[in-house]
Structure 1
Amino acid sequence: MEKLLENKRLLIAGAGGLLGAHLVSKVIEQGGKVIAADINQKLMSERLESLGIDAQNEHLILESIDITDEKSVEELFIKYSDIDGAVNSTYPRNKTYGAHFFNVSLDSFNENISLHLGSAFIFTQQCAKYFKNKNTPFSLVNISSIYGVIAPKFEIYNETPMTMPVEYAAIKSAILHLNKYVVAYVNDSRFRINSVSPGGIFDHQPDAFLDAYKKNTHGAGMLDVKEVIGSILFLLSEQSKYVTGQNIIVDDGFSL
């Protein structure tokens, strides 16, 4: 039986992160060939190896990319002539990211918007240019969030030092409309952009937060990162051939 991504070459930016690394593994498992890219190639290689992915795998190429640097992104797309799709799972931010609302300075807010939304723009733009130049089908998946769709439930952060950063809400909601803008501009059914918006992904958050979060779901609580990946694979595959400009929410009912 043919695998979901048989012989597709897919670029995964942010492959050294929690979501990106697991995605590399699943794409290869589904018959795909991966260009895994991150700003720190050494740490990316270590993360992949910790998941049992051999850096010498014939279906894997490791690349360095600074998603916030226009030239770095352009050069990576120039280097390859057979990319069928891409996922941007990067999460660039500055050192003051995550401050509570009244403590966020304008300079810090603007810098985070530039780093994260700006890099999403340049990556999306280069995917569109790549499609125009190669004239072959291309599917891009950008990662948004439930907090790009609904207002934060601030009460779940009580009794923790955590908050839901205002920059994050602004960025993730903007990415959803950026997707629609670009696919409407390119106006070709062979070029698709969609998003997956995960609910909370477990990463050893405080117990008080985990308990409060779970009460807002249908029982699952925070998701294991692996539970988000199926939707991404679907959007990269031929199974979603005419799905474009859409957003799949994976959150066990948190946003209802």
Structure 2
Amino acid sequence: MRKNVCLITGGAGFLGRKYCEFFLKKGFMVLCVDKDKNKLIKTYTNKKNFKFFTCDITKEKSVLNLYNKINKNFFVNVLINNAAIDAVPFKKQNKIKFPKVQDWDKELDVSLKGSFLMIKYFGEEMIKKKEGSIINIGSDLSVIAPNQKLYKSSYKNYIKPVTYSVIKHGMLGLTKYFASLYAKDNVRVNMVSPGPIKNKQSSKFLKELTNVIPMERLSDPIEIIGLIYFLATKGSSYITGQNILIDGGRTII
């Protein structure tokens, strides 16, 4: 029986590492892609059923080279487009409404162009094999705008940048487009959109967030991974083109 192969971009990040570890435990061959080679080596040296690759997914030549390396030995039947640049709030940050153009380009390139290029090569291979699941990682900000009041009270002068909202709305468009295009070939494309995930936020910010979430808590990463795993397996074989929110009810109010 052929082993399932899961390719994860942004695999050296906070959630990327957890995705890799989970799919390894589930018996997948895991291929981790990230631009940060040192972090990859530090995290994943000597792991069985695991390979890591350094790649700038914003460069088509780099993605093509990655595809050629991987395709010699593996058929990727699960692609998780996780790579992203998210602005982290800091206290005493200057109030900046508009990002620099170079930051706009960089952030959109990593998430949107990078995901597009990964689908262009690995998704097309799925089409040839008539099998595959592509899972794009979104956010609750794919359907709502950021509540800037939450940031203002906890992080002086901080404004969540427009780029993140544009990217996550764009990821939804990318998801629907390829879901429609690939559906007849048994390749599914979905998006998982988490709300806030607990990760060393300040106690004040946590309190502000829980006040706007009906379940009155943030999610644990495993609650996100469970859905991703479901979408990666045959149990979700009739689900495509969906943006599934995991937000404790935040977006229903």
Q: TM-score range by the shorter chain?
A: 0.7 to 0.9
Secondary structure at the residue paired with 1:188? helix
Change (3 A) 1:64 1:104: closer
Secondary structure, in 3 states, of the residue corresponding to 2:184?
coil
Closer/same/farther in 2, CA of residues 93 and 135 from structure 1, 3 Å limit:
same
TM-score normalised by the chain length of structure 1: 0.85
Among 71, 80, 84, the alignment partner of 2:77 is 84
Q: Which amino acid is the alignment partner of residue 122 of structure 2?
A: C
Gaps of 5+ in 1: 1-5, 49-54
Q: Where does 1:88-107 land on structure 2 (aligned, <5 Å)? A: 88-92=81-85, 102-107=97-102
Alignment of 1:180-219 (within 5 A): 180-219=176-215
Identity %: 27
Relative to the length of structure 2, the TM-score reads 0.86
Task: Find out whether 1:130 has 2:125 as its counterpart.
Answer: yes
In the TM superposition, what are the counterparts of 1:37-116 in structure 2 within 5 Å? 37-48=33-44, 55-79=45-69, 80=71, 81-92=74-85, 102-116=97-111
Q: Tell me if the contact between 2:5 and 2:30 (Cα under 8 Å) persists in the aligned partners.
A: yes
Using the TM superposition, give the Cα deviation of residue 23 of structure 1 relative to its aligned residue in structure 2, in angstroms.
Answer: 0.7
Which 10-residue stretch deviates more, 62-71 or 238-247?
62-71
Tell me which moved more, 119-128 or 174-183: 119-128
Q: Structure 2 stretches of 5 or more lacking a match?
A: none
Where does residue 113 of structure 2 map in the other structure? 118
Judging changes above 3 Å, is the alpha-carbon distance between structure 1 residues 115 and 30 closer, same or farther for their aligned structure 2 residues? Answer: closer
Deviations for 1:178-216, whole angstroms, at most 9, x for unmatched residues?
Answer: 111122223424111111000112221222211100111
Which residue number in structure 1 is paired with residue 20 of structure 2? 24
Query: What whole-Å deviation, never above 9, does each CA across 1:126-166 have from its counterpart, x for those lacking one?
Result: 2322223x424111111010001112222211221443221
What number of residue pairs does the alignment pair up?
242
For the aligned residues, what is the CA RMSD?
Answer: 2.3
Q: Is 2:83–2:110's contact at 8 Å kept on the other side of the alignment?
A: no
Q: In structure 2, the residue corresponding to 1:158 is in which secondary structure?
A: helix
